[in-house]
A = this chain, B = another copy of it.
Amino acid sequence: MRIVCYKDKIIKALNSVVKGVASKTTMPILEGILIQTNDKEIKLTTYDLEIGIEYIMDCEVQEQGSTVVNAIMFSEIIRKLPDTEIYISVNEKNLLEIECEGSLYKLATMNPDEFPELPKIEVENSIELEQNTLKNMIRKTIFAVSSEESRPIFTGCLFEIENNKLNVVAVDGFRLALRSIYLNKQTNDFSAVIPGRTLNEVNKIISDSFEPLRIGVAKNQALFEMDNCKVVTRILDGEFLNYKNVIPGNWETRMRVNKNSLQNSFERISLISASSVEKEKKYPVKVQVDIGKVVISCTNQTGDAKEELYVSTEGKNLEAGFNPKYFLDSLKAIDDEEVYVEFGSNISPCLIKSIDNNDYTYMILPIRLKE
């Protein structure tokens, strides 16, 4: 194998594929990157048996071949080379040689035949999105994904296509995040739960642009297809929460509030709420809605905090306890200037919703207040 390519081009490829490299594995081949030439292209592949990433790029192939080399070491060396042509080849001792100006690096290689094959995917359903749209949907829901491996289905986001609308839902037992957008093209209804880890990696690979991306779903696998790059992932098996049934349809107390003011109040109050000397005890903050105002307060050994905001309110007065982190996570994911915050009783979930449309619903369960 012998190829010549420009640094900036191969770095772009490496930045995408190294995301899929296994860390802390007992199989060194999974820490490798498979380099395969194909006529006038090379294909770079990484695969940790859960997420597989392929990137195809044009380059000058002087001799066909394939090899596997440690991905981190290879990409770090390339990253530090000067911005010019790089010669990459496998020598007679089976070492990968990287040559560039006065630099010559030789790295041990592994047998490409031992590199596990990416699963073949027969896409049954698919949608097309702009990359920045997917980036947005991921950023605005992924924080609510569960990290508890005991209920694996909730470690992923539900992607549900229903009546040409894409709903992305994450839930962790304490809160729920739901984002929806309408799709441009007529699409079959289907759904799949994509692992949170995959979405994090895909999020790093996709750009904040209007470039298209296709998400294809097969029986056990999903596929994210971009221009040169393809990400293959398993999908999570099991029954996702029937989320529509758990989101309350009506409220007893509602306030309309400036999103940033509310977020800033929760940020400050978190300093006191999170500073408890008894780390294990969760100190909820108390939310009190009265006519025309909301008071958020918290008391513990460190001190005493009170935040008062003048807001427009409707319905009954209310007093309930919440973990301020859940409010903060949700509010940070909202770009609107104002939001509705809806409550039922002091033991019902609280909803944060858009003033203008149904693009998002964040649901937060209350915590019992200490007497």
Q: Which A residues form the contact surface with B (CB < 8 A)?
A: 70, 73, 76-77, 80-82, 95, 102-108, 264-265, 267-268, 271-272, 275, 301-310
Tell me if A105 and B303 are in contact (CB < 8 A).
Answer: yes
Contacts of A268 on B, CB cut-off 8 Å?
77, 80-81, 103, 105
9 residue pairs of the A-B complex, CB under 8 angstroms, read: A73-B303, A76-B271, A95-B303, A102-B308, A102-B310, A103-B305, A103-B306, A105-B304, A106-B303
Shortest Cβ distance from residue A258 to the other chain B in the assembled complex, whole angstroms: 12
Contacts of A103 on B, CB cut-off 8 Å?
265, 268, 305-308
Tell me if A271 and B304 are in contact (CB < 8 A).
Answer: no
Q: Known pairs A80-B264, A105-B268; list 13 more (Cβ under 8 Å).
A: A70-B302, A73-B275, A77-B272, A80-B267, A95-B304, A102-B307, A102-B309, A104-B308, A105-B303, A106-B303, A106-B305, A107-B302, A108-B302
Shortest Cβ distance from residue A348 to the other chain B in the assembled complex, whole angstroms: 26
Contacts of A275 on B, CB cut-off 8 Å?
73
Known: A102-B308, A302-B73. A82 touches B271 (CB 8 A): no
A272–B105 CA distance with the chains assembled, in angstroms: 9
Count copies of this chain in the complex.
Answer: 2
Shortest Cβ distance from residue A94 to the other chain B in the assembled complex, whole angstroms: 12
A304–B94 CA distance with the chains assembled, in angstroms: 13
Contacts of A302 on B, CB cut-off 8 Å?
70, 73, 107-108
A80–B265 CA distance with the chains assembled, in angstroms: 9
Contacts of A95 on B, CB cut-off 8 Å?
303-304
Closest Cβ neighbor of A261 among chain B residues: B102
Shortest Cβ distance from residue A294 to the other chain B in the assembled complex, whole angstroms: 10
Shortest Cβ distance from residue A293 to the other chain B in the assembled complex, whole angstroms: 9
Tell me if A108 and B303 are in contact (CB < 8 A).
Answer: yes
Contacts of A105 on B, CB cut-off 8 Å?
268, 272, 303-306
Known: A108-B302, A265-B102, A302-B107. A77 touches B271 (CB 8 A): yes
Closest Cβ neighbor of A271 among chain B residues: B76
Contact of A104 among B73, B104, B306 (CB under 8 A): B306
Contacts of A70 on B, CB cut-off 8 Å?
302
Contacts of A310 on B, CB cut-off 8 Å?
102
A145–B369 CA distance with the chains assembled, in angstroms: 53
A315–B286 CA distance with the chains assembled, in angstroms: 78
Contacts of A108 on B, CB cut-off 8 Å?
301-303
Tell me if B303 and A271 are in contact (CB < 8 A).
Answer: no
A74–B305 CA distance with the chains assembled, in angstroms: 12
Closest Cβ neighbor of A307 among chain B residues: B103
A305–B99 CA distance with the chains assembled, in angstroms: 10
Shortest Cβ distance from residue A92 to the other chain B in the assembled complex, whole angstroms: 14
Closest Cβ neighbor of A303 among chain B residues: B107
Known: A82-B264, A264-B80, A264-B82. A305 touches B271 (CB 8 A): no
A303–B104 CA distance with the chains assembled, in angstroms: 11
Contacts of A104 on B, CB cut-off 8 Å?
305-308
Shortest Cβ distance from residue A67 to the other chain B in the assembled complex, whole angstroms: 13
Shortest Cβ distance from residue A174 to the other chain B in the assembled complex, whole angstroms: 24
- Pick the most buried of A95, A105, A275: most chain B CB atoms within 10 A of its CB: A105
